[in-house]
Amino acid sequence: MRLILQLSRKNLAGRPGRAAAMIALAAFLAFAIFAGSVVSMSLQRGLGTLENRLGADIIVVPASAKSQFNVNDILLQGNPGYFYMDREKLDKIAEREGVAAVSPQLYLASMVASCCSSRLQLIGFDPETDFTILPWVRESYRGEIGLYDILVGANVTVSGDYTLRFYGIDCRIVGQLEKTGSGLDNAVYANWETIEKLIEASEEKNLNKYSVKADSVVSSVLVRVADGYDIEQVLNDINLRVRKVTAVRASNMISGIAENLTRLSGVISLLIAGVWLLGLLIMMIAFSMMTQERKREFAVLRAAGASRRQLGALIFAEALIVCCAGAVFGIALAALIVWPFSTAIGSALGVPFLLPSLPTMLALMAATLAACAVAGVLISSISAVRIARQDTGLILREGN
């Protein structure tokens, strides 16, 4: 076996141009299957994480917000924006039958000005009632969240002094949250007291388009429906009984994202299948032509005492070397593109994008390598059968 491997390597080294072309084609196949699989899994994982982070059955916003803003952009994509409604709506929503828990949130968008470090979405939550953000926070930070303490999403740049300035107030970064692959990674989170102070500061600088008292407004109300109640009925009751609000089902907010994800996954799967069918066909033809050109070489080996089985093993070895080498290059190239630019890929696709865990990535690499090795065996088997059937004496006489 060692002799066959050595001979295979020498044969490939003796034809570097042809070997490089075959390796490049194998790398292309490996790139397609590995990158495509990683992207598909990242889309699925991003959507699942977003569903978990949303954490509420119903989200209630001011009725005017639906017409003036794309609420999804603020709640799910993290695009800066804000709106308010009277805090009394919170109590009225909590009183509705079937409502098990409510938690308010306050929004504020920072400005591109000297008073602010950068333009970001600020989200204030009430630690006393929150059931969506605080569990996420506790995954990376278990300390107290005091006045002017903030937590930042995974994509927010953290400065050396761990502070961000909003409306002239320096806020201390006490933690950076785990990545979700969604727009939530671009937001800043603070407790209720901090966000009220920031809203007051924005009004003092005449940089808030609303004239509100921070302690008397909320931006949204997250609702958890009690067990045994139908979410749709509770939602309709809130829309009917609480004036000037719009209640939406949380799952409906991400349904459009889920539809886009399904379409993208389908397109990716079709592309992978198309690339592999075309690539395997090209490799099969190329390998067949290559072995046909070398039929006299194989005839000489047969005349020197090599068996048909040994010739088949030689062809298999060359195909495996080519496919495995190409797979390594293709996987490495895909990793170098997908891993560092995952955030940009998610933004370009417009859907949550969260890379699989390291063990899953390693398993995908191994599966891709195995797929390419199997492809090499299948491709070479046709050539091996054809060489085995050739008449050695006839080939040698043709050569003379």
Amino acid 113: pLDDT: 73
Quote the pLDDT of residue 193: 95
DSSP-assigned letters across all residues of 125-193: E-TTT-SSHHHHHTTT--S---TTEEEE-TTSPPPTT-EEEETTEEEEEEEEPPP-SSGGGGEEEEEHH
pTM of the model: 0.70
**249 φ, ψ (degrees, to nearest 5):** -75, 130
Token pair, residue 278, equals 């075309």
Q: Distances from the Cα of 326 to the Cαs of 10, 11, 25, 208, in angstroms?
A: 17, 17, 7, 57
The residue type found at 23 is I
Q: Please report how the helices 2-14 and 16-54 are oriented relative to each other, as an axis angle in degrees rounded to 10.
A: 100
Instruction: Show the CA angle centred on residue 398, arms to residues 393 and 400, nearest 5°.
Output: 100
pLDDT of residue 126: 93
Q: Which H or E element spans position 209?
A: none
Angle, nearest 10°, between helix axes 358-389 and 16-54? 150
Distance between CA atoms of residues 321 and 341, nearest Å: 30
pLDDT mean values, one per 10 residues, the chain (400 residues): 59 68 85 88 78 80 74 65 91 94 93 82 92 84 90 87 92 89 85 94 89 89 93 94 90 66 77 79 73 61 61 73 88 91 76 84 92 81 63 49
Nearest Cα residue to 42 out of 217, 201, 265, 340: 265
The Cα 92–Cα 244 span in angstroms is 12
pLDDT at res. 236: 95
* Segments making up each domain of the chain, as ranges: 2-50+257-399, 77-251
CB contact at 8 A, 313 and 7: no
pLDDT of residue 396: 45
